[in-house]
Amino acid sequence: MPVGTRLCVIVEESLNKSLKSVLIELGKPIALVIDFFCTKAFDIGRELSIPTYSFCTTSISFLAFSLYLPTLDREVDCEFVDLPGTINIPGCSPLQIQDLVDQVKNRKSDAYKRLLFFASRLPLSAGIFLNSWEDIEPITLKAVIESPSFKGIPTPPVHPIGPVIKEEEQPTDDLGIECLAWLDKQPPESVLFLALGSGGTLTHEQLTELAWGLELSQQRFILVVRKPTNGSNSAAFFTVGSDDVNHIKAYLPEGFLDRTAERALVVASWAPQMAVLKHPSTGGFLSHCGWNSALESITCGVPMIAWPLYAEQKMNATMLAGEVGVAMKPIINVEAETCIVGREEIERVVRVLMEGEESKVMRRRAKDLKESAAKALAIGGSSYDSLACVAKEWNANPSMI
């Protein structure tokens, strides 16, 4: 079962079996906040007279696409992938066809119908909380709030309250302590951190090319390695943590660990991401561009190499590289049978990010957004005030519905 479908089934079973009874047991809270997968909760919220809000855990750009998807579904007759050029969403940057999420590439599939169902129910929200802030996606935010097309959907009130990210935790496990101890010995902003999210995996061929590219770059790095697979690039989503250090030698080119030992740390499956990104020695992040990881990198002032794998990550990568200006995208060898990023290209982008003149602009932009994010979350900041206004409404009128 695909990851997205499996998540949907898990959520639906949980909602159907327990949500209503839990809300009643809690004494009917004054508000319920759900994510994109939980839209069946709108029915339960309505039944119990509890206003239900959506929390957008993705970028505002993906929210705009989701809100506009039912309109596209009505207006476009062919498959979206067959459209010439781009998909145009009012007030937003054109969406590249190649950046579309996999679920919309076949409109006859159950995955597309499920996504369309979730998207069509977003207007039922009492409001939408955005894990973003005004400075990072100003054009798209303005479109969602002001565009007549979005007002006509109708789009519920939107509340930017981000960046909401995991706070740094001091690792207590041996691996986490080892990562930070190794970073303590490296020069400032000299280490590239490579991690592909909660479940991202590479093919055997791509992992080999990545390893060779890193070795050729001669840069310092921390590489999180998972068992490669020639199947789904989200194959580790439900098995993360199952790899151990004794296995990773079998996944990498022979002699790679020995040849890079003096300037690299290779770990199995997981590393303390926030602690690594916040460390002064970390100067770059090769990321799958999941929105949480992107926000964590930005709030630490670390520029990225965008390596999207699944979900809306290709949209994020293009936006982070273009509109936001904190990432660079490797060139994929589309002529290769498996469309991989070759070792020479990996060597190039790693060198550019870690020591090239071009990276200085991205690094400054990332650090500017780091400061902007801190101001947005501080008392009197835009995100703080946005959430405070909603909380004030709840306190003033507990029976909002």
* DSSP designation for 37: G
Return the CA Rg of the chain: 22
- Confidence at residue 398, expressed as pLDDT on a 0 to 100 scale: 55
pLDDT tens string 317-338 = 999 999 999 999 999 876 666 7
Does residue 87 sit in the same domain as residue 213?
no
Does residue 309 sit in the same domain as residue 245?
yes
Based on the number of CB atoms within 10 Å of its own CB, is 68 exposed (0-12), middle (13-18) or buried (19 or more)?
buried
CB atoms closer than 10 angstroms to residue 249 = 15
Beta bridge partners of 194: 223, 286
Domain contains 73: yes
| Last residue within a domain, chosen from 127, 160, 193 | 160
Largest CA distance in the chain: 66
Q: Phi and psi for 111 in degrees, rounded to 5?
A: -65, -40
Domain contains 224: yes
- Confidence at residue 401, expressed as pLDDT on a 0 to 100 scale: 44
User: What's the token pair of residue 22?
Assistant: 């839990």
Does residue 180 sit in the same domain as residue 145?
no
Using DSSP's 3-state secondary structure scheme, residue 351 falls into helix
Q: Which of 392, 370, 388 is nearest to 379 (CA)?
A: 388
From residue 270, give the alpha-carbon distance in Å to each of 121, 163, 199, 275, 341. 36, 23, 10, 12, 23
Does residue 148 sit in the same domain as residue 200?
no
Does residue 224 sit in the same domain as residue 128?
no
Buried b (16+ CB within 10 A) or exposed e, 186-205: beebbbbbbbbbebbbbeee
Domain contains 165: no
Domain contains 198: yes
From residue 306, give the alpha-carbon distance in Å to each of 143, 211, 286, 316, 318. 25, 17, 6, 9, 8
Domain contains 169: no
Find all residues with CB under 8 Å of 48, minimum gap 6, and list them: 20, 23, 24, 28
| Last residue within a domain, chosen from 131, 160, 189 | 160
Q: What whole-number distance in Å separates Cα of residue 172 and Cα of residue 192?
A: 23
Q: What whole-number distance in Å separates Cα of residue 165 and Cα of residue 176?
A: 19
pLDDT by 10-residue block (mean), the chain, 401 residues: 81 89 93 93 95 97 98 96 94 95 94 95 97 96 97 97 87 87 97 92 95 98 92 55 67 96 94 95 98 97 97 96 97 77 97 93 97 98 97 77 44
C-beta separation of 247 from 268 below 8 A: yes
Domain contains 392: no
| Last residue within a domain, chosen from 101, 130, 160 | 160
Does residue 141 sit in the same domain as residue 191?
no
Does residue 186 sit in the same domain as residue 282?
yes
Range of the domain at 61: 3-160
The runs of H, that is alpha helices, within 159-268 are: 174-184, 204-217, 245-251, 256-259
**What is the domain-level CATH number for residue 368?**
3.40.50.2000
Hey, CA dihedral for 389, 394, 400, 401, is it positive or negative?
positive
Domain contains 400: no
Does residue 115 sit in the same domain as residue 197?
no
From residue 374, give the alpha-carbon distance in Å to each of 133, 283, 381. 10, 20, 8
- Confidence at residue 196, expressed as pLDDT on a 0 to 100 scale: 95
- Total structural domains in the chain? 2
Does residue 132 sit in the same domain as residue 247?
no
Does residue 271 sit in the same domain as residue 207?
yes
Domain contains 166: no
Based on the number of CB atoms within 10 Å of its own CB, is 258 exposed (0-12), middle (13-18) or buried (19 or more)?
exposed
Does residue 148 sit in the same domain as residue 204?
no
Does residue 234 sit in the same domain as residue 292?
yes
Based on the number of CB atoms within 10 Å of its own CB, is 345 exposed (0-12), middle (13-18) or buried (19 or more)?
middle
Q: Interior CA angle at 158 toward 60 and 321, to 5°?
A: 15
- Confidence at residue 245, expressed as pLDDT on a 0 to 100 scale: 53
* DSSP designation for 202: -
Q: Which of 346, 343, 351, 344 is nearest to 329 (CA)?
A: 346
Q: What whole-number distance in Å separates Cα of residue 30 and Cα of residue 255?
A: 60
* DSSP designation for 233: T
C-beta separation of 188 from 162 below 8 A: no
* DSSP designation for 79: -
